[in-house]
Chains A and B, each alone.
Chain A
Amino acid sequence: MAQTATSNRTGGIPANRKSRRDWFPVLNAVLLIFISLLCILPLIHIIALSFSSSAAASAGRVRLWPVDFTMASYSFTAGRAAFWKAMLVSVERIGIGTPLNLLMTILVAYPLSKETTAFRMRMVYAWIFFMTMLFNGGLIPWYSTLKEFHLLDTIWGLVLPGAVPVFSVILLLNFFREIPKELEEAALIDGAGHWRTLWTIFVPISKPAIATLALFSMVEHWNSWFDGLLIMGDPTHYPLQSYIQTIVIQQNLSNVSYDDVLNLAQISDRTLKASQIFLGSLPIIAAYPFLQKYFVKGIVLGSVKG
């Protein structure tokens, strides 16, 4: 006590502040770790379930690590033609959808990024695109439109309606506007037209932004499930998320052939569903390091501007 009093007098630091242990950082760390666990443990539990035997799963013995490790659910799924068919539809959807999204985003963002003096119709076009964010016809007119255009049950029905992602257009046009005017003027003096300016100056400079938008688009296409259910009359045309939806949520096991499931003692409904859930999230988890890196950039690019 005498010691602290002395140091207080000499050092000028209040005694009670120095002697009292600051618990806040510890409590804060514990709380944040707890929150983090809440976000990832459910997924880890499901993964553990998918690699466990049906007996262990139904006895409730699985926590965060597989019990009686088995790949039975996965080898069963891998043997299903329907699974691979659905996977193929998803890959096709991303293969067509993402390049289309990027092309449309670039082609629409460039003219809209011009000043009104350089492109007099700019505001008219901008409002036509922006209106679609304010108002939509709703589910039934949308569905009827696709039917009218004979796009039901085709891959084009999945990629064309969302081909122009207006939100991405806005992000990219704001990015384009940050590009120094001198670059564009220099290109003009060299005799480059708009097309050449776009491809040789704007697109190369915007690579990080375009990469971000590409990731957004791929995640979006991979995760979409409702349009697949709606548009595809034939279940063998479902993309993977729609296929998984029918098994995991609608509990419709006819797609995976229920009789076969029961014949295999190692698999239950529950482990099979768990494996579908994991497979449905696997590409996202695999791409997560990139997603995280570009995602933060994308947010800074978008929401926090101005």
Chain B
Amino acid sequence: MKIGKWRRELPLHVMILPGLLLILLFSYVPMAGITIAFQKFIPARGLFGNQKWVGWDNFDYVMNLPNFKQVLWNTLYISSLKLILGLIVPIVVAVLLNEVKNQLLKRSVQTAIYLPYFLSWVVLGGILIDILSPSEGIVNALIKSFGLDPIFFLGSNHWFPSTLIVSDIWKNFGYGTIVYLAAITGIDPGLYEAATIDGANRWRKIWHITIPGMRMVIVLLSVLSLGQLLNAGFDQVFNLYSPQVYESGDILDTFVYRIGLLDAQYGVATAVGLFKSIVSLILISGSYFFAYRFAKYRIF
């Protein structure tokens, strides 16, 4: 009987095996590679070769770097504003879009707003660098035509974080809007009819029917996005920043990249990466836990 069960399950083990091996090789081996954070790592000796162990030295070194606190602050500042606006803007647009009765307009708007979502940050970064250029960019041409001074969006520490936040919303709000619209479609139309008979105006219907109807999805997306708190957007920042805005725009991931792969301080970079991974682990696990508690969200 027991052998029969094993035989029945054997193909399932065989199916999962190649994927399992790939995951072990390319996710779990790098996880084991966090040992680099406690070494004076010399690449030529190999990942699991004979390296010199230095205890917590790399962490001490990072904590004493003058710009580490700034980088951490930049990361939290940029990503939390992205999270908050990235939650509000799609909700507002979805509600407004739901009020549109003309189907052609509705579909056209939907088509337009999630085009940027599919383009890479190389493409979008290239577009932004061109249109925001203070000398020849079309945005500054517009600003100058109003008699104002041109703004160096990507080159001044005053403007850079806002430019990151706004352009991130620009790329991603279409995605959120579609998710919320899908949630709105699930609302019983009878509720709106009943409210109309009761004399409720448009705002009351939005406030008492549409928004509550989206509640679960709002809770779910906001909770899940919390896990991304230390991901301030490597792809975006890497393609838009330059040394003159490191002060306001350097984030953990770009910092790791520079000290690790450009300065070849492998141990230090891994220590920063490990710090980030552990905080993220806590945040993501917590967010899944809350998503399960409040939205009954289960992954598998």
Contact = CB atoms under 8 A, between A and B. Distances in A.
Interface string A20-41: 0000110011011101111110
B117 to A, nearest CB: 9
Contact of A43 (B115, B125, B202, B299): B115
Contact of A274 (B11, B130, B297): B130
Contacts of A38: 170
Chain B interface size range: 35 or more
A248 interface: yes
Contacts of B300: 112, 126, 130, 170, 173-174
Contact of B119 (A121, A149, A164, A223): A223
Given A108-B16, A306-B297, A284 B118 contact: yes
B118 A291 contact: yes
A64 B162 CA distance: 26
Interface residues of A, number: 100
B131 A42 contact: yes
B191 interface: no
A300 B99 CA distance: 21
A128 interface: yes
B293 interface: no
A299 interface: yes
Interface string A39-71: 110110110010000000110100100000000
A28 B100 contact: yes
A34 B29 CA distance: 49
A83 interface: no
A221 to B, nearest CB: 11
A42 B273 contact: no
B224 to A, nearest CB: 9
Which of A137, A164, A226, A303 has most B Cβ within 10 Å? A137
Interface string B128-156: 11110000101001000000000000000
A120 B9 contact: yes
A148 interface: yes
A60 B136 contact: yes
Contacts of B9: 118-121
Nearest to A48: B138
Interface stretch (A3-11, A139-147, A205-213, A259-267): A139-147
A74 interface: no
A291 B47 CA distance: 41
Contacts of A76: none
Among all A-B residue pairs, the 5 with the closest Cβ atoms: A141-B33, A138-B273, A137-B30, A36-B112, A223-B120
Interface of B: 9, 11-13, 15-16, 18-20, 22-23, 25-34, 36, 41, 43, 46-48, 93, 96-97, 99-102, 105, 108-116, 118-123, 125-131, 136, 138, 141, 170, 174-175, 178-179, 182-183, 186, 202, 217, 220-221, 234-235, 238-239, 253, 256-257, 260-261, 266, 269-270, 273-274, 276-277, 280-281, 284-285, 296-300
